[in-house]
Structure 1
Amino acid sequence: MDSFNEEDIKMYFYENRLKTFEKWPFDEDCTCTPENMAKAGFIHTPSDNSPDVAICFFCLKELEGWEPEDDPEKEHKSHSSSCLFIALKKNIEELTVEEFLKLQKERHKSIIIKTGKDAIAKFEEAAKLKRAEMIKTAMEEE
């Protein structure tokens, strides 16, 4: 994992997050506008079934089912209270190099934890299916 490649750090910047909200289903008459979503650290990651999926680029918390009156910052804090990005008191441009490196280290921890949890969930599901298959085979042989 390269901590300093362009793709890895570009979402720290508001303008880059905002660009991901081209086809966001909520407009200026809502609280969850693209601008407010991007300010809260979200990027738009729609799918065919869920056009309003957004994920925090930092803590990787994914939220969908947005309502027009939802406040992105409040939703982010309530669903991911430990996210250091949403807790930042400074703009990214104001961080010292040391502060940025500490933040990036925490972001990588989030990525590793999420990747590990996803891998464990996949393994547990595969084990569950294999166990059921083995039980079925054993029952048929009796």
Structure 2
Amino acid sequence: MELVVEESLEMLIYENRLQTFKGWPFDEDCKCTPENMAKAGFIHTPSDNSPDVAMCVFCLKELEGWEPEDDPEKEHKSHSPSCHFMALKKRVEDLTVEELFKLQLEMNIRKAEKKCNEVITKFREAASVKRAEIVKSATGEE
């Protein structure tokens, strides 16, 4: 694994996060404007069924179902209190190289944890299906 992954570093920059909010369903009359969402560490990750999904590039927490009065920073803190981005005391652009690497390390740990959890979930689902097939076969049920 490379020490520095350019793609993840690009999303550390506010302007790059802000650019992902094209088509965001909330405008300047709301608390969850694209600017406030990007300031809170989110990028816009819509799907066909959920046009208002946003994900923190730091802790990978995905939130949807936004309401115009939702404050992105408060929502982020309440749903992901251990997010290192929310704990920063300064702007990403003002971080030292050491602080930047620590932040990136935490990002990579979260990505690895998320991937591992996805694999574990898939394994458990497959094991459950297989168990049901074995029980069905052992009991002679069709």
Extract unaligned runs of 5+ from structure 1: none
What percent of counterpart residues are identical? 68
The secondary structure found in structure 2 opposite 1:47 is: coil
User: What is the alpha-carbon root mean square deviation over aligned residues?
Assistant: 1.4
Contact 1:3 1:104 in 2 (8 A): no
Shift of residue 129, structure 1, vs aligned partner: 1.1
Give matches, 1:44-63, under 5 Å: 44-63=44-63
Aligned match of 2:23: 23
Q: Give the equivalent residue in structure 1 for 2:137.
A: 137
Gaps of 5+ in 2: none
Question: SS of 1:43's equivalent?
Answer: strand
Task: Tell me what 1:68 maps to.
Answer: 68
> Does residue 77 of the first structure (1) align with residue 77 of the second (2)?
yes
1:114 positional shift: 1.1
State how many pairs are aligned.
142
Secondary structure of residue in 2 paired with 1:55: strand
Amino acid at match of 1:132: A
Distance of 1:62 and 1:141 partners within structure 2 = 42
Contact kept, 8 Å, 1:12 with 1:92, in 2: the verdict is: yes
CA gap of 1:138–1:67, structure 2 versus 1, over 3 A, is same
Instruction: Give the alignment's TM-score, normalised by structure 2.
Output: 0.95
Task: Go from structure 1 to structure 2 and tell me whether the alpha carbon gap of 1:65 and 1:141 turns closer, same or farther (over 3 Å shift).
Answer: closer
SS in 2 for 1:12: coil
How far off its partner does 1:141 sit? 6.1
- Superposed counterparts of 1:100-139, under 5 Å: 100-139=100-139
In 2, the alpha carbon distance for the partners of 1:92 and 1:141 equals 60
- Provide TM-score, normalisation by structure 1: 0.95
Instruction: Could you list the structure 1 runs, at least 4 aligned residues long, displaced by more than 3 angstroms after superposition.
Output: none
- 1:24-74, Cα deviation, whole Å (9 max, x unpaired): 111111111111000000000000000001110010001111111110000
